[in-house]
């Protein structure tokens, strides 16, 4: 098993997006309102580059980065533009994590709030302040923003504290893969509370004064037995547990217990008062850490993930606990679950008993490109590629990490298409353009370069955009384009991607986004991926009353696919497996949480069929700019690459989502037509090809797409049909399609020697080195 211990708030799209005032204003209002192998780094961290004494430039192979912020640039900052440092305790260890559900604890976005915003751990929510931590649970959704957003608004039922606590701030003391320990100190006493996603408990440690729990209103006490008190407040049920030698005393709406200098207590959310006896055995089994482990079995096309809590018995010998699983977890869990449940913004959570649980997912394969079919007009495709190469501005302004990334990705996607139709000159010209721009970025000291911020453990690319540097937003979205472009170069020029050539810098970008080395001094682990949530969080600081958010789930998937390809093409199996883990896990959440697949996520009264963004407290149809309906849907499709086939794993669902858009706009898509044609091809390739053929010489592609790429995509899927997930293969890079009962099998071989791929239905396919092969 491979341990993986330890969004943004503005997106991108139209280059002049007018500030996205609709959702931005709403969000601002919300804020003001309230194989048994230890996985190490993929190479870069194991021997982190060290600059010469006095030098500000660190060479990495043929490239490098700077350790000093380039002149005129800004690093992580608060809303007023002042630099910010990680808000941690003296005993905090390792680089500072960001892009977490709890990041407002560590990244102070607002100068007048040193505590943090609402923290949505599910099933509980929390709010830190000078006197401790408010704790609550919302079990009823509310529609807001003209019914465009559903949310389980943060509730405050009780406050965890210590008598006399008056802390000037809240700091981060420790963290795990999905847990965090917050620290308060002021007025004499100190308080530390550990909380986490899926935990129905919060675990408090006290010193300097008595434990103190204050209720939001008069509590209904239905159990009082010394160190165990059961109460109902605001209609919700809680149990409070103190040490057996420090019983609770209730006066009015406040509980106190003489816990002493090394004291502790815990609080638990109960589904029902009748469940007290099921929680009591774990009252003193304190969670001290969390880690997810995975194992990718390539031959069996299976990803096994184990979610494990580290616990310590503060009294007695019990070291187990209870964990509430999200739907994408409990539906794929291998063990038994209890009958305990909670409501959450992701649907019903079901409870597992014990300090770990395991899930098992089928890996459906991640292709780097699709084959070009004979049915396509190869001459027209060649002419369309030539038209792209003849464009005056292949890397348009503003030329920052996002827009340049999209430009490189657009050109890189054309390389295998040109190769497949024998246009080797165009292929090599495209490769040269992509190489040149990548090398420009990966070389220190130029107009485009990378800087390592040691304080935050982050690679910052300049020029940046959308808060990638100042807020640490969107790193997976931006850097995914760099990694995918580099993987395409590696496919045709292996030496270019060597560690001592340009591959070293690419690996640093991967480490920034999804570093896994537990001892890394350069990067936190899994910055842009939340293992328990099963997807990323885009905001570096999470400074919102609604928690953190994730808009473009598809760009998070793009990074995952790119990582798998780069690892495979450079012979790094661990890096490939990391990409497979990220891609497979997120694929189990995207359709469910962004598109309500299966119907268990969105409230029944919510009128939309998709959300543009998932928030900590719910989901919102709106996006980070004033876009139309096509953009609200399409933001979670782009960029279209062969790694996007997961969007069609359920062709019927994909078709229903497309029909939903057509119904909403009253006809076929007009904005981002190529994105929606590509998505339509996943449920009806013939219809997608029809729309393309009717408009191919008049439409304007989305900035990251091109006419020849869309043509290849829709023509191939028109010929192959829809994705068939009933058949798997013994390689990480395959896809199976079905059209009217006839299957087409395709696979990619990243190795330097020929490979025989065997599919689960007995079909075999010989795949030449570094090529895509097809059979049916």
Closest CA to 678 of 689, 666, 667: 689
Residue 298 annotated as catalytic:
no
Q: Could you count the other beta carbons within 10 Å of the beta carbon of residue 425?
A: 11
Task: Given the residues 151, 293, 551, 574, select the one marked as catalytic.
Answer: 551
For the record, the structure tokens of 100 come out as: 């977490």
For the record, the structure tokens of 763 come out as: 């079909």
Q: Could you count the other beta carbons within 10 Å of the beta carbon of residue 743?
A: 18
CA distance 260 to 756: 67
CA distance 620 to 233: 29
CA atoms within 13 A on the CB side of 328: 24
Whether residue 748 contacts residue 767, with contact meaning beta carbons closer than 8 Å, is answered with yes
Provide DSSP, 39-53. Answer: ---SSTTTT---PPT
Task: Given the residues 464, 555, 617, 674, select the one marked as catalytic.
Answer: 555
Provide DSSP, 360-373. Answer: EEE-----SSPPPP
Residue 551 annotated as catalytic:
yes
CA distance 550 to 529: 11
Whether residue 648 contacts residue 723, with contact meaning beta carbons closer than 8 Å, is answered with yes
For the record, the structure tokens of 679 come out as: 């998505």
Residue 147 annotated as catalytic:
no
Task: Give the three-class secondary structure for 563.
Answer: helix
349-353: strand order across its sheet: 322-325, 349-353, 341-342
Task: Give the three-class secondary structure for 419.
Answer: helix
CA distance 493 to 489: 6
CA atoms within 13 A on the CB side of 342: 31
> Cα separations (Å) of 562 from 293, 388, 413, 556?
21, 23, 12, 10
Which pairs with CB-CB distance under 8 Å and at least 24 residues apart come from 12-19? 12/402, 12/403, 12/465, 12/466, 12/474, 12/477, 13/625, 13/627, 13/631, 13/635, 13/703, 14/625, 14/627, 15/398, 15/403, 17/624, 17/625, 17/626, 18/625, 18/626, 19/625
For the record, the structure tokens of 330 come out as: 């409990």
**What DSSP designation does 501 have?**
I
Q: CA dihedral in degrees (539, 543, 548, 552; nearest 10)?
A: -30
> Cα separations (Å) of 278 from 274, 635, 708, 764?
9, 44, 61, 52
Task: Given the residues 78, 134, 474, 631, select the one marked as catalytic.
Answer: 474
**What DSSP designation does 505 have?**
H
CA distance 310 to 291: 8
Element (H, E) at 303: strand 302-313
CA distance 14 to 158: 44
Whether residue 116 contacts residue 558, with contact meaning beta carbons closer than 8 Å, is answered with no
Task: Give the three-class secondary structure for 234.
Answer: coil
Residues with active-site annotation: 474, 551, 555
């Amino acid at each position: 098993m491979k341990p993986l211990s330890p969004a943004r708030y503005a997106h991108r799209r139209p280059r002049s997006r007018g500030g996205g005032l609709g959702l931005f204003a709403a969000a601002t209002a919300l804020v003001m309102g309230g194989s048994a192998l230890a996985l190490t780094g993929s190479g870069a961290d194991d021997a982190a580059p060290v600059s010469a004494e006095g030098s500000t430039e660190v060479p990495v192979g043929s490239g490098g980065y700077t350790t000093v912020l380039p002149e005129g640039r800004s690093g992580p900052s608060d809303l007023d533009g002042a630099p910010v440092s990680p808000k941690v305790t003296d005993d905090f260890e390792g680089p500072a994590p960001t892009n977490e559900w709890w990041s407002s604890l560590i990244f102070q976005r607002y100068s007048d709030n040193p505590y943090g915003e609402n923290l949505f751990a599910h099933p509980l929510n929390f709010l830190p302040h000078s006197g401790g931590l408010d704790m609550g649970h919302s079990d009823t959704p509310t529609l807001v923003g003209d019914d465009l957003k559903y949310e389980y608004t943060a509730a405050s039922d009780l406050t965890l504290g210590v008598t006399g606590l008056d802390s000037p701030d809240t700091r981060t003391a420790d963290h795990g893969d999905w847990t965090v320990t917050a620290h308060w100190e002021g007025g004499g006493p100190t308080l530390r509370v550990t909380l986490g996603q899926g935990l129905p408990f919060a675990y408090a440690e006290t010193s300097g004064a008595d434990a103190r729990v204050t209720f939001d209103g008069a509590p209904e006490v239905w159990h009082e037995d010394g160190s165990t008190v059961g109460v109902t407040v605001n209609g919700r049920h809680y149990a409070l547990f103190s040490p057996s030698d420090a019983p609770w005393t209730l006066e009015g709406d406040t509980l106190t217990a003489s816990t002493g200098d090394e004291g502790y207590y815990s609080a638990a959310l109960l589904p029902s008062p009748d469940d007290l006896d099921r929680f009591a055995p774990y009252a003193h089994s304190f969670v001290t850490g969390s880690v997810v482990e995975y194992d990718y079995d390539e031959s069996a096309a299976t990803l096994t993930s184990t979610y494990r809590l580290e616990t310590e018995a503060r009294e007695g010998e019990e070291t187990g606990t209870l964990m509430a699983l999200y739907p994408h977890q409990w539906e794929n869990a291998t063990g038994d679950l209890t009958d305990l449940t909670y409501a959450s913004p992701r649907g019903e959570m079901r409870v597992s008993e014990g300090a770990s649980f395991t899930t098992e997912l089928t890996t459906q394969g991640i292709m780097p490109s699709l084959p070009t079919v004979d049915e396509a007009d190869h001459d027209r495709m060649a002419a369309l590629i030539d038209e792209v190469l003849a464009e005056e501005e292949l890397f348009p302004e503003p030329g920052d990490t996002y827009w340049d990334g999209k430009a490189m990705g657009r050109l890189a996607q054309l390389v295998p298409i040109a190769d497949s139709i024998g246009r080797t000159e165009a292929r090599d010209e495209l490769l040269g353009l992509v190489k040149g721009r990548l090398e420009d970025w990966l070389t220190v000291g130029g107009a485009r370069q990378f800087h390592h911020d040691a304080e935050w453990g982050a690679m910052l690319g300049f020029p940046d955009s959308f808060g990638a540097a100042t807020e640490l937003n969107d790193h997976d979205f931006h850097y995914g384009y760099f990694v995918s472009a580099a993987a395409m170069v590696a496919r045709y020029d292996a030496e270019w991607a060597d560690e001592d050539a340009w591959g070293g810098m690419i690996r640093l970008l991967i480490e920034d986004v999804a570093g896994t080395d537990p001892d890394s001094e350069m990067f936190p682990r899994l910055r842009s991926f939340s293992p328990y949530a099963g997807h990323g969080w885009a905001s570096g600081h999470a400074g919102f009353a609604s928690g953190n958010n994730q808009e473009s789930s598809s760009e998070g998937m793009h990074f995952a696919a790119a990582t798998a390809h780069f690892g495979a093409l450079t012979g790094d199996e661990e890096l490939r497996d990391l990409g497979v883990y990220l891609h497979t896990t997120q694929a189990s959440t995207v359709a469910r949480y962004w598109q309500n697949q299966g119907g268990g996520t969105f409230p029944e009264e919510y009128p939309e069929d998709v959300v543009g963004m998932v928030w900590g407290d719910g989901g919102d149809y709106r996006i980070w700019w004033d876009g139309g309906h096509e953009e609200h849907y399409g933001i979670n499709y782009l960029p279209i690459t062969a790694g996007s086939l997961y969007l069609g794993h359920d062709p019927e669902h994909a078709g229903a989502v497309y029909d939903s858009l057509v119904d909403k706009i009253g006809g076929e898509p007009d904005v981002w037509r190529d994105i929606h044609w590509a998505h339509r091809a996943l449920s009806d390739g013939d219809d997608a090809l029809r729309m393309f053929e009717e408009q191919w010489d008049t439409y304007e592609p989305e900035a990251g797409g091109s006419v020849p790429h869309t043509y290849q995509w829709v023509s191939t899927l028109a010929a192959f049909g829809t994705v068939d997930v009933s058949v798997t293969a013994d390689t990480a890079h395959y896809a199976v399609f079905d059209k009217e009962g006839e299957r087409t099998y395709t696979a990619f071989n990243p190795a330097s020697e020929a490979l025989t791929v065997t599919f689960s239905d007995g079909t075999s396919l010989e795949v030449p080195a570094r090529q895509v092969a097809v059979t049916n």
